[in-house]
Every structure is written in structure tokens, then in C-alpha cells.
Amino acid sequence: MKMNLLNLKNAFAIVALIASTGLVSCGGGGSTSGSDSTASASGNDDALIGAGSSFDNPLFSKQFSEYNKTSGLKVNYQSVGSGAGISQLTNKTVDFGASDAPMNGKQDSALTAPAIHIPVTAGAVVLSYNLPDVKDTLQLSPDVLAGIFLGTITKWNDPKIAATNKGVKLPSTGIVIAHRSDGSGTSNIFTTYLAKVSTDWNTKVGHGSSVNWPVGLGGKGNEGVAGLIKQTPGAIGYIELAYAIQNSMPYAKMQNKAGNFITPSIASVTAAANIQIPPDSKVSLTNTDAADGYPISGFSWVIIYKEQNYNNRPSDRATKLVKLISWMIHDGQQFSGALNYAPLSPAAVSVGDSILKSATFDGKPILQ
């Protein structure tokens, strides 16, 4: 009877979330199709329009608010997921997209003109869980994490979980997987990590912004997954660090390549990001070699068209956009730490500056 009551309770919790988080069943995770924006990025509206990464949303909200105070510029940003942001940029209905994964070949081929990626922040994807009676911070190994998300580890007191959590009284509660339902750069970071550390995951699932999840339920955006975890006993899911902290949600230490169990933090993300940045800025930080680096870290990018004269856009709009992004990777970085994002390294800023200087209007550089 206790098990039936628990299942019933979980069922009610899941049903209650459908309206608020956009839940879908496992097996797919297609990209989101929605946006609240009805404005056009090609018109003369004073507000710039962006869409994409929910990973970035807490930082962007602060940055855009602060920039407005000094410039008067309004930025309408919708946290709809990286996949939807890229789709809207492709359709030229936004001035910029934001993604936690660089555009892939298929996405590039859908564009009518080249796009450029400017790194704007780095952060951690954390494993948050709902185990009210467990007061200790859980420690997860790569093999255990892959087993949980593959559905081969189904109970919290599984011996494999217990092996890295000695002395912790783990419940027999069933594990409920929470993953993204929309096209997500956060998913790309997470699945890229799993593909690097687990041969089974790489061959059976692979990596990308959308994958066919073996088990679990999906929520839309970091917000949706965080809500699902909070309201479902036994749940575990991946979200951006800021969402976990803002919602007072516990999150696990992850064992990195050096064998150390690392707490996700600004310092451990900075350690993971201490690498050489390629000229196009497209690089993965997952499964870092750094002994003190958090292994599920990643850059996030703002993506714009390299040539800004399209759809009858005024040159002033293009100038405002490029100056905004330049401010974001310079002065705007001061707001990162308080929101648990890692400020860009000098190397990343330097690469971002070079990429921004390649943006043109009528073939002429926008930034002099």
C-alpha cells in the first residue's frame, strides 16, 4: 500500500507540472517551437530582440537591466532554449540567438549567410536531486551517472551509488529522471560529457541538443526541469548552477578525470575553462583534464549574422547590437560571479573581440 500511495503521489505531482513546465514523455526531446515575441528584428523598434539559452537567462536579465540604465537600450530576451534561439535566428525574427552549443553543420547549412559565435559566459551544469532525508552532499562517478540516465540504475540505494557515498543512508526510493524536452545547449553540454565518459551512452544515445532519452520525463527549459525536480520525490536532473542555487536545490559533487570529486563553483568552472580558445571560439569544456576542474562545464555563445545588412535593417540597429555584445563580454562580466557564472578568461575575451570586429554592415566593419 505504501508503494501505491507513493506512486499515486508522484503521479499527482507529475500531472500538476504538465501545465507549468510543458512536460512530455521520454523518447525524443524535439526542439521547442514557441516564443512570446511578436516583434520583428528587421524593423525600427527600439528594443533589440534575442532568444535562446535558458542557461544564460539569469545572467542576461541582470546584464540587460544594467545596460539599459546607462544606454537606454531595451533588450527583449526570451528564454526558450538554445535550439529555438538558433531556429529564430535562422528565420531572422530575432537580432541574436544564444546557445550553450555551437551551431552544427546541419544548422549552418540552413542559414542564408554566415553567422559568428561570441562567447559570453561559462557555467556549470549540475546534477540536482530531490532526496529530503539525505542531508549529505551526494558524490557521483561518471559510470554511475551514465547508468542512472541509461536506466540501468533505478534505485537510490543501488550499491554503485552507495560505493561513492560511504556512510550516507540512501533510501530505496525509485529514481525519476528529469531531462529537457526542448532543443537545449544545456543538454548538449550534458550529453557531450556522458558520451566522453561512457561508451554505452555514446553508442546507445550519443550527444546533441536533442537526443532520444532512454528514460525519464522532460521539462521545458532549465526552469521546467528545476520545477520537476523540486516537486518529484526521488527525481534527479541536470540544470544550470544558478537555477539550483536560486531555488535552494541540492546538487552533487562530480568525479572528474583526475579522480577528484568536485563541487560545481565559479572556481572549478574557471579551472575547466583554462584552455586555449580557437579563433572561432567553438570549444568544449567537458571532461576537463584540470585536477580541480568541474567536469560538466561549458561556454555559452551569442550568435549573430556576420553581415548585418539584411531584411532592411537600419545600420543603427546593427551598431547597437554589436556594441551591446561588446559591453557584455567586457563591463558586463562584473555581474557574473554574484550569479554563479564564471567570468570569461582574458583569452576568451580576446577571441570574442576579434570575432566581433569581423561583423560588418554593407561589408564595412561595425566596430572600428
6 has a pLDDT exceeding 80: no
pLDDT tens by residue, 72-98? 999 999 999 999 999 999 999 999 999
Q: Which fold has domain 48-122+300-365?
A: D-Maltodextrin-Binding Protein; domain 2 (3.40.190)
Task: Return the pLDDT at 215.
Answer: 97
The reply to whether CATH 3.30.420.40 applies to domain 2-28+124-272 is no
Name the more confident of 41 and 355. Answer: 355
Task: Return the pLDDT at 217.
Answer: 95
DSSP state of 3: H
What mean pLDDT comes out for the span 20-39?
38
354 has a pLDDT exceeding 80: yes
Name the more confident of 97 and 34. Answer: 97
Task: Return the pLDDT at 12.
Answer: 40
Q: Give the model's confidence band at 17: pLDDT under 50 very low, under 70 low, under 90 confident, else very high.
A: very low
Task: Return the pLDDT at 183.
Answer: 86
DSSP state of 30: P
| Percentage of the chain lying above the pLDDT 70 cut | 88
What mean pLDDT comes out for the span 238-253?
94
4 has a pLDDT exceeding 90: no
Task: Return the pLDDT at 368.
Answer: 80
Domain ranges (residues) in the chain: 2-28+124-272, 48-122+300-365
What mean pLDDT comes out for the span 207-228?
95
What whole-number distance in Å separates Cα of residue 269 and Cα of residue 240?
12
Are both 2-28+124-272 and 48-122+300-365 of the same fold?
Answer: yes
Task: Return the pLDDT at 43.
Answer: 54
Name the more confident of 360 and 33. Answer: 360
What whole-number distance in Å separates Cα of residue 7 and Cα of residue 87?
38
Task: Return the pLDDT at 366.
Answer: 98
pLDDT tens by residue, 105-152? 999 999 999 999 999 999 999 999 999 999 999 999 999 999 999 999
pLDDT tens by residue, 156-204? 999 999 999 999 999 999 999 999 999 899 999 999 999 999 999 999 9
Residue 118 · residue 302 · CB < 8 Å: yes
Q: Give the model's confidence band at 19: pLDDT under 50 very low, under 70 low, under 90 confident, else very high.
A: very low
What whole-number distance in Å separates Cα of residue 247 and Cα of residue 224?
12
Task: Return the pLDDT at 313.
Answer: 94
The letter for the amino acid at 96 is: F
State the average pLDDT for the chain: 89
- CA torsion 357→40→35→57, rounded to 10°? 30
pTM confidence score: 0.84
Task: Return the pLDDT at 42.
Answer: 57
273 has a pLDDT exceeding 60: yes
DSSP state of 233: T
Strands (E), the chain: 24-25, 48-52, 75-79, 96-99, 115-129, 139-140, 176-180, 217-219, 235-240, 253-255, 261-262, 297-305, 360-361, 364-365
Q: And the C-alpha cell for 242?
A: 544558478
